Structure formats: structure tokens, C-alpha cells
Amino acid sequence: MRQVDHFIDGRAVQGTSGRFGDIFNPNTGEVQARVQFATDDEMNRAVASAVKAQPAWAAANPQRRARVMFEFKRLVEANMDELANLLSCEHGKVVADSKGDIQRGLEVIEFCCGIPHALKGEYTEGAGPGIDVYSMRQPLGVGAGITPFNFPAMIPMWMFGVAIAVGNAFILKPSEKDPSLPVRLAELFLQAGGPEGILNVVHGDKSAVDAILTHPDIKAVSFVGSSDIAHYVYSNGTANSKRVQAMGGAKNHGIVLPDADMDQTVKDLIGAAYGSAGERCMALPVVVPVGKATADELRERLIAEIDTLRVGISTDAGAQYGPVVTAAHHAKIAGMIQLGVDEGAELVVDGRGYSMQGYEKGFFMGPSLFDHVKPGMKTYDEEIFGPVLQIVRAETLEEAIALPSNHQYGNGVAIFTRNGPAARAFASKVNVGMVGINVPIPVPVAYHTFGGWKRSAFGDTNQHGMEGVKFWTKVKTVTARWPDDHARDSAFVIPTMK
């Protein structure tokens, strides 16, 4: 059986722990490979490699680091088909979604190609008599990323792209559910000219996470996953004097006003709710129609559109989405659907009985739709992370705004309307970190920044863009004095800049 190795100091390293994680083919339900979890010694070896390699990488001029990023981008694009198929066979998302996953990661790599500009500091000439003041951004040393299963290309590139471009070395601990693609990315980075030891991939479970959070040579940690674990990572990382950004769960809402373009809105909602089987932190699993007429029309249109959805194996070019990642996750989604019924919501479309002919053991789940869901129901309060859309009815825009604003999660939200003033007021008032106006999945472009509010994010700095540059660097400010000859004997005290 195929085994996924660690990637340390520029080469594959077989683990020695004797502890493994199974890697399933979600289409067939079969175990297709194993990944061996790291020992503390293997984690220490990866960090030691990073510590050794980082000073020379940081000393390289930023143009050279940018050239490596350019070549890495070219290699990923040249190998797109191979990478997308590898991703799909472990995750289960259809190949088109896998290519989108990779492409969104590459957009951050494109931003990193301009890192010389992003690293420019500030300069003040003549801040005092013969005194100039300037600042510079310098790398932290060694950073680490702990990434989830749902975007095994995009999120690692969000993290290591910026961290490495500014001069750090990096330890990546990807999800054990689909770890092969992150290893291939590290191989391509090496092929692109990245030095050995600058990008290491170490596999593991909680013990590997704890090793990252406590290792004294790891200076910063970036995490994406569930909110409970995000809080754990943030609390333990900061307790060990690390800089931490920890992105958690989500329950994104879509507000539909009566004047919305209903044809476009329905298509947007279907794609945002069911694409990638709903396994996205920026999925849109809650729709809030304003007014009974809007809700009734939207419900009927959604039912009709759901009936046209095609679920298929991940290599089916005509499928809208594929299987979920594991049998355990399939069972969790099914249990949440039953809980919704028990809580009193109306299950309008039930996707639990879906089976794919010839792939009966695959982890397929049909689309489900609930109506009359209310705050306080566990299925509304918690993240389902599957192909389930919930209708929560509101009478007014103010009531609709209050729903995402008061929810424990604050990752993303969208409004669908032709009313500019209403959309502008919504964007200003809603207590959520990322807002879409007629955009169902408001993931910012790479040169802006990604991050939610409330229990969707812990830490003060967001992912990628200039926020990412700030997170992975520290500022040094220099005050320089070059006195003239006639002032050489004068005392120099703390300057007041008079």
C-alpha cells in the first residue's frame, strides 16, 4: 500500500513512529494509502533543518526570493492536471473544484512575486539635527502552518507563500486526510530553486500540533480548522510566546431582499451551499429571505434547482460535487440532518439516502434543504460542513441583519439586492468579517486579506495580503545620526527632534 512520507530537508523521510492515518478514496470508500505520524524526533529534525537554512534565505535579496516564487507558480501551473487529480482522489471534490483550490492558492503566490515592494519600509529624512529615521521589515525565523482537509492546496499556499517570500523557513503540518498534495507542493518548491530546509512537511495528529505549539524555535503559527481547535491553538501557542493566527468555523448567511434578481440569486445559493459538498469554511449554508412572499418563492425555486443537481465521482466532469471526505464525516452530516428534524425544522429535501451506482461504498451525500429553521436550534448554531442548506425566515431587513450579527461565528455573509443604499447600510452594520454584495462567497482577492470575526478567528492579524506580510515579519526602526565635523565633540542625548 502506498505510504505518504514526510518531506524534511529537501527529501522524503519515512516515519518511524509506527502510528498511521488511513487515506481513503472517498469515491469508493476504500483505504488507498497510509500516512505515518511524526515522532518528536522527526519534528525536531524538521525544525533543525529550517533553523539551519533560514539565515541564508533571509539574507538573499527579495528579488531572488521573488524569482523562486515565479518559478514555483510556473511549475504548479504546468502540473495542474496531475495536482488536481491527486487532490480529488483524496479529498473527493470534483476536478474543477480542485483546480479552483489550486488556483486560489496560486493567486497568493502571485502576490508573493511582488514581495520586494511589500517589504519596503518607511523613511524620514531630517527627523532631528542630522538625524534620519527608517524602518525595515525582517523575518521572524521559522514559522509553521496547520492546515485543514478541505483546501489542501489553497490554504497551505496562503500560509507558506507569504511566510517564505518574506524570508522565513516553514514547517507545514497538513491534514492527515489528504496529505499527498502538500508534499508535491514542497517538491515543486525545491524544484523551483527553493533551498533545502526552507519548506518542510511533517504529518501527524494532535501530538504533532502540540510539538509545533511548544517548540522554542518556531516563532509563529498559522492555523485553519474548527473553532474549538483554533481556540486551543491560539491559547497554547500564545502561552508559549508565539505569534498566532487561528481561523475557526463559520455559519455564513445569505440575506435575500424582495428586489433581488431571483434567477441569479438561486444559482448563486446553489453553488455556494452545495459546491465542494459544502465542505468549505466560506460555504453559504444559511439563507435568510426577507418577507413571506420572498421566502415562499425562494423555497420553490431552490427545490426545483436542487432537483437538477448532479452528484458524481470526483472525475465526472458533469458533476456539480462529489463525495464527502470520510465515512465518519458522512455519518456526522447525516446525524446533524436527523437532529434538525428532531428539533422541529422542516426537512424539505432529504439527501441522506443518496447512493451512486457502482460506487455504493463511496461517501456520497445528496443535497438537503431545511425550511423554518430558527436560532437556538443546534443545527443552526453549529457548523454542519456538508451539502445542507437551511432557510431561516425574517420579516424585516433589521431582523435579517441581526441573525448573522448575533451568531457565534462571523466569517462571511452576503446580501442579494438591487438596492444600493440597503446594501451599503448592510455592509456597514453587519457584525461579520467578510461581506459580499451579490457575491455569495466573499473570499477576498489575494492582495487584500482573509479573516473573520468572533469565534471564526483568534488573533489580531489576518491571512495573506499585507496583513500576512505583517504577521510573518517584525519591524525594526533605526534612528541614525551622522554629525558634521563641527559637531563631533557635542554630547548626544535622547533626541527631542526640535
In sequence order, what DSSP letters do the residues of 263-294 get, joined into one string?
HHHHHHHHHHHHGGGG--TT---EEEEBSHHH
Residue 451 lies in a domain: no
Same domain membership, residue 237 and residue 269: no
Total domains, the chain: 2
Assigned domain for 86 exists = yes
For 40-90, write each residue's pLDDT tens digit: 999 999 999 999 999 999 999 999 999 999 999 999 999 999 999 999 999
pLDDT given at position 83: 98
Alpha helices, DSSP H only, in 225-364? Answer: 227-239, 262-274, 292-306, 327-343
**483 within a domain of the structure (yes/no):** no
pLDDT digits (tens, 9 = 90+) for 448-495: 999 999 999 999 999 999 999 999 999 999 999 987 766 555 555 665
- Domain end among 405, 437, 469: 437
Do residue 260 and residue 237 come from a single domain?
no
192 and 296 assigned to the same domain = no
**Residue 489 confidence (pLDDT):** 52
pLDDT in tens, 412-460: 999 999 999 999 999 999 999 999 999 999 999 999 999 999 999 999 9
CA 179 – CA 23 distance, rounded (Å)? 8
d(CA 302, CA 296): 10
Q: Which residues pair with 133 in a beta bridge?
A: 124, 479
Residues 181 and 284 occupy one common structural domain: no
Q: CB–CB of 186/201 below 8 Å? A: yes
Tally Cβ neighbours within 10 Å of residue 471.
Answer: 25
Give the domain CATH number at 407.
3.40.309.10
- Quick: pLDDT tens for 285-329: 999 999 999 999 999 999 999 999 999 999 999 999 999 999 999
410 domain-assigned: yes
442 assigned to some structural domain: no
Q: What is the reported pLDDT for 494?
A: 63
Residue owning grid cell 496562503: 158
Whole-structure pTM value: 0.94
Give the pLDDT mean for 124-143. Answer: 95
Q: Which of 429, 468, 432 is nearest to 452 (CA)?
A: 432
By the 10 Å C-beta count (0-12 exposed, 13-18 middle, 19+ buried), 268 is classed as buried
Based on the fold, state whether residues 242 and 339 are members of the same structural domain.
no
Instruction: Work out the average pLDDT over 110-134.
Output: 94
Q: Does residue 299 share a domain with residue 193? A: no
In this prediction, residue 212 has a pLDDT band, given cuts at 50, 70 and 90, of very high
Helix (H, G, I), strand (E, B) or coil at 375: coil
The reply to whether 257 and 204 lie within a common domain is: no
Give the residue among 135, 136, 73, 140 at the shortest CA–CA distance from 105.
73
Say yes or no: 211 and 258 in one domain.
Answer: no
Q: Cβ contacts of residue 90 below 8 Å, gap of 6+?
A: 23, 24, 25, 26, 32, 33, 152, 177, 178, 179, 180, 181
Mean pLDDT over each residue of the chain, to the nearest integer: 96
Q: Is residue 491 part of a domain?
A: no
- Alpha-carbon distance of 468 to 386, in angstroms, equals 29
Q: Are residues 300 and 339 in the same domain?
A: yes
* Interaxial angle between packed helices 262-274 and 292-306, expressed in degrees from 0 to 180 and rounded to the nearest 10: 60
Cα distances (Å, whole numbers) of residue 112 to 67, 167, 363 = 10, 11, 37
* Residue 446 resides in a domain: no
CB burial readout 161-190, b (16+ within 10 A) else e: bbbbbbbbbbbbbbbbbbbbbbbbbbbbbb
| Residue indicated by cell numbers 472525475 | 315
pLDDT of residue 351: 97
Burial of 293 (0-12, 13-18, 19+ CB in 10 A): exposed
What burial letters (b/e) apply to 79-102, b meaning 16+ CB within 10 Å? beeebbebbbbbbbbbbbbbbbbb
Instruction: Give the C-alpha separation, 435 to 46, whole Å.
Output: 39
SS3 (DSSP) at 207 = helix
Residue 112 is predicted with a pLDDT of 98
Domain hosting residue 311, numbered range: 253-437
Catalytically active residues are 281
Task: For residue 137, give the CATH number of its domain.
Answer: 3.40.605.10
Q: What is the CA radius of gyration of the chain?
A: 25
Would you say the C-alpha torsion 389, 393, 396, 400 has a positive or negative sign? Answer: negative
What integer pLDDT is reported at residue 497 of this predicted model?
55
Cell, residue 2: 502506498
At 161-193, the pLDDT tens digits run 999 999 999 999 999 999 999 999 999 999 999
Write out the DSSP string of 146-204: E--SS-TTHHHHHHHHHHHHTT-EEEEE--TTS-HHHHHHHHHHHHTTPPTTSEEE---
Domain contains 484: no
pLDDT given for residue 482 in this prediction: 86
How much is the pLDDT for 484?
75
Residues 230 and 342 both lie in one domain? no
* pLDDT score of 483: 77
Residues 191 and 290 in one domain: no
d(CA 416, CA 426): 11
User: Do residues 458 and 244 lie in contact, with contact meaning Cβ atoms separated by under 8 Å?
Assistant: yes
Supply the pLDDT for residue 427. 97
CA distances from 293 to 299, 393, 394 (A): 10, 11, 11
pLDDT digits (tens, 9 = 90+) for 224-234: 999 999 999 99
Residues 216 and 270 in one domain: no
Q: Are 255 and 269 in contact (CB under 8 A)?
A: no
Q: pLDDT of 97-119, one tens digit each?
A: 999 999 999 999 999 999 999 99
